[in-house]
Amino acid sequence: MGKIAIVIGSGIAGIASSIRLARRGYTVSVFETNSYPGGKLTEITKGGYRFDAGPSLFTLPSLVDELFELCDIDPRKYFNYDQLDETCRYFFPDGKEMVAWSDHEKLASEFEKQLGEPKANISKALKNSAMLYEHLAPLFIEKSLHKAETWLSGKAVSAYSKLNRFDFNKTMNEVNKKRFKQPETAQLFNRYATYNGSDPYQTPATLNIIPHLEFGIGAFFPQGGMHSITQTLYELAQSIGVNFYFNTPVEKIVVHDNKAKGIDTKMGFHKADTVVCNMDMVAAYKTLLKDQHQPKKLLNQPKSSSALIFYWGIKKEFSQLGLHNIFFSEDYKTEFEHIFNKGSIYKDPTVYINITSVKNPADAPEGCQNWFTMINVPNNQGQDWDYLIQYARKAIIKKLSQHLGENIESLIEVEEILDPRLIEQKTSSVAGALYGNSSNNKYAAFLRHPNFSKRIKQLYFCGGSVHPGGGIPLCLSSAKLVDELMNQ
Ligand code: FAD
């Protein structure tokens, strides 16, 4: 009889793992608490509007393509995406506006024209980001940090010779403040820390690697929206024989003689040769592995930030808004102190609006727009979220109404709200953190849980709470690492 693998959770890394395991010849079953696949990468439909509920920025699409190619299927038959010419529109409190073009020459000219930032500074920043990516991605994203081979490889040796250029000992803000002439440019580049839920005033400047993903490799938009990543991979997994059990939370990982033997659900015991856990690592230790050794240091690491999102169906089209829009909001910083006073987070408030109907008109009724309106907030530490939601809603509406010269509240015809409590409830992510443990400390990359258990054989971990980290590309990478580790 062939080997059996069980995947706990159908987040994007869980689905990717299931595909990889099935291609290795395993009989694969995915157990999922929710009634739908995708975890954070899901969608909301209401009143003629469709919203991508979680991620809005798509980078490294090749990692999705690779899963189709593994199954000898041409990805272009099922999954397509377009590279964005403009990655984001930025709106500053003093009325300055700029478009972040993907073309570097155009981008540098825009910075110079709109913000007075010398073009050379932009080119230098992008080169630095590319250098960081070239040397660090092969170690910190594409390999397990917990295997000696990684540190003895040629790529590691080449990186050692450049250690002083990686800025481990400075914060992102320190480097950006020094690098750029204009505070707005530093503020804009600092924002990339939020891509993994960190604070640029604490996180090492090594995270200046992130802009390379967007500007160097490219930002993309899947035809059909972000949720099509989940949907197409879910269909791909099913087409190669993966079984999905929805509404079926896993209650325990069964371990005998330091080896994972299967799982318990309400249906009883399910035997497996290999178990891959895609559930938040901390939650998994506290519930599914509560009888096992607890890696206390890892479990107690500070968590990344969370998000407060208003999904608004707006009965008007605003031509000045693109797919991604950032409003820097220093002018009402004090109002947001209520929200930012707990936990470590980017303290320069931004309101982020993602409008997929700009690219995909089917996402909103004619003449309307689907606004995914998000502010970064600390993870859940028991704040009075009901009060904060109303507070933030008022402040955001005031800000946007002033900026767009229109009473936004009167244009909202559909509304849904997601807050850190709900994120935790819907995905088991501890404290509603979007990216597992935070990366605010320079050792954070080394303090993520490995993709395997050091104590329990045949137990592997994938997803945003373990190595290499959160975000779709890193989650897909984690599934690839599990595959490689199993093959070793
Ligand atoms: P998760 O999505 O965390 O899913 C885990 C799954 O496990 C869930 O479905 C859960 O129900 C299931 N589960 C948990 N416990 C059990 C159990 N006991 N039994 C069975 N099933 C269980 N990333 C980007 O790349 N770009 C972005 O722009 C971006 N923006 C984001 C915005 C928001 C608002 C959010 C919430 C996230 C964003 N992210 C972004 C992060 C990205 O969504 C996540 O890193 C990624 O989707 C996490 O995938 P995962 O595989 O870790 O699983």
Q: Could you write out the DSSP letters of every residue in 98-140? A: EEEESSHHHHHHHIIIII---HHHHHHHHHHHHHHHHHHIIII
Of 18, 427, 480, 482, the one to substitute when testing ligand 1's pocket (max ligand atoms within 8 A of C-beta) is 427
* pLDDT confidence band for 163 (50 / 70 / 90): low
Cα separation, 129 vs 213, whole angstroms = 9
Nearest ligand 1 atom to alpha carbon 34? 11
What is the Å distance from ligand 1's center to 228 Cα?
15
Name the closest-CA residue to atom 36, ligand 1. 54
* Residue 168 near residue 204, CB atoms below 8 Å: yes
pTM: 0.95
Q: Could you write out the DSSP letters of every residue in 242-298? A: -EEETT----EEEEETTEEEEEEETTEEEE-SEEEE-S-HHHHHHHTTTTSPP-HHH
Could you tell me the two tokens for 366?
């004619």
Residue 414 pLDDT more than 80?
A: yes
Summarised one tens digit per residue, pLDDT across range 362-390 is 999 999 999 999 998 989 989 889 988 99
What is the Å distance from ligand 1's center to 453 Cα?
21
What is the Å distance from ligand 1's center to 481 Cα?
18
* pLDDT confidence band for 161 (50 / 70 / 90): low
Cα separation, 281 vs 284, whole angstroms = 5
| DSSP letter (8 states) at residue 302 | P
Enumerate the β-bridge partners of residue 277: 8, 461
Q: What is the CATH number of domain 4-47+54-81+226-301+442-487?
A: 3.50.50.60
Residue 171 pLDDT more than 90?
A: yes
Cα separation, 84 vs 280, whole angstroms = 31
Nearest ligand 1 atom to alpha carbon 472? 25
What is the Å distance from ligand 1's center to 279 Cα?
9
Residue 488 CA: distances (Å) to CA of 54, 147, 352? 34, 11, 43
Average pLDDT, the chain: 92
Summarised one tens digit per residue, pLDDT across range 329-362 is 765 555 566 566 554 455 667 899 999 999 999 9
What is the Å distance from ligand 1's center to 488 Cα?
27
* Residue 242 near residue 26, CB atoms below 8 Å: no
Name the closest-CA residue to atom 48, ligand 1. 464
* pLDDT confidence band for 160 (50 / 70 / 90): low
Which residues surround ligand 1 with Cβ inside 6 Å? 8-14, 31-34, 39-41, 54-57, 249-250, 278-279, 307, 309, 423, 427-429, 434-435, 463-464, 470-472, 475
Q: How many CA atoms does the CB half-sphere of 92 hold within 13 Å?
A: 16
**β-strand 49-52 against 43-46: which pairing, if any?**
antiparallel
**Same CATH topology for 4-47+54-81+226-301+442-487 and 305-427?**
no
Cα separation, 121 vs 249, whole angstroms = 51
Instruction: Name 470's Cβ contacts closer than 8 Å, sequence gap at least 6.
Output: 196, 197, 304, 434, 435, 436, 464
Summarised one tens digit per residue, pLDDT across range 438-455 is 888 777 777 789 999 999
What is the Å distance from ligand 1's center to 66 Cα?
20
Question: What is the residue type of 66?
Answer: E
Summarised one tens digit per residue, pLDDT across range 304-325 is 999 999 999 999 999 999 999 9
Burial (CB count within 10 angstroms: exposed 0-12, middle 13-18, buried 19+), residue 48 = middle
What is the Å distance from ligand 1's center to 407 Cα?
34
Neighbours of 318 (CB within 10 A): 18
Instruction: Name 412's Cβ contacts closer than 8 Å, sequence gap at least 6.
Output: 312, 313, 314
Nearest ligand 1 atom to alpha carbon 475? 51
What is the Å distance from ligand 1's center to 376 Cα?
16
Cα separation, 56 vs 357, whole angstroms = 12
The architecture CATH gives domain 305-427: 2-Layer Sandwich (3.30)
Domain coordinates of the chain in residue numbers? Answer: 4-47+54-81+226-301+442-487, 103-218, 305-427
What is the Å distance from ligand 1's center to 41 Cα?
6
Of 220, 277, 278, the one to substitute when testing ligand 1's pocket (max ligand atoms within 8 A of C-beta) is 278
Residue 256 CA: distances (Å) to CA of 5, 30, 252, 260? 16, 21, 13, 7
Nearest ligand 1 atom to alpha carbon 429? 3
Residue 74 pLDDT more than 60?
A: yes
Among 3, 479, 1, residue whose Cα is nearest residue 276? 479
For residue 33, what pLDDT is reported? 98
- Taken in order 146, 151, 154, 157, the sign of the CA dihedral is positive
Among 129, 110, 126, residue whose Cα is nearest residue 118? 110
Neighbours of 320 (CB within 10 A): 11
Name the closest-CA residue to atom 13, ligand 1. 9
Across 166-173, average pLDDT: 85
Cα separation, 479 vs 461, whole angstroms = 8
Report the run of H or E that residue 183 belongs to, with start and end: helix 183-190
What is the Å distance from ligand 1's center to 61 Cα?
17
